[in-house]
Amino acid sequence: MVNRVSWKQVGSVKEPGRYKLRFGWVTIGAEDLAIWEKYPDAIFTLYEVARAESNEYRVGVIDLTIPAVAAP
């Protein structure tokens, strides 16, 4: 089960929409893309949306791993 996804894993998509990945469908909104454009290494946690016919997910919590900056 995949529970986290990066921009690279979703093919660095440029438009909001519903995308088929190997584990199911993921809906990506404009707000999600704006975060990925600003923080390309951000990881989103997925949450499952109840659908009888397929595995359907949406992106949720964001994990921003920001490199530490050394003090001068």
What would you report as the CA-atom Rg of the chain, rounded to the nearest whole angstrom?
Answer: 14
pLDDT at position 52:
55
pTM here is 0.69
End-to-end CA distance of the chain: 43
Distance CA 21, CA 68 (A): 32
| One pLDDT digit (tens) per residue for the chain, 72 residues | 558 889 999 999 999 999 988 888 888 999 999 999 998 988 888 887 766 566 766 676 666 665 555 555
Distance CA 3, CA 15 (A): 22
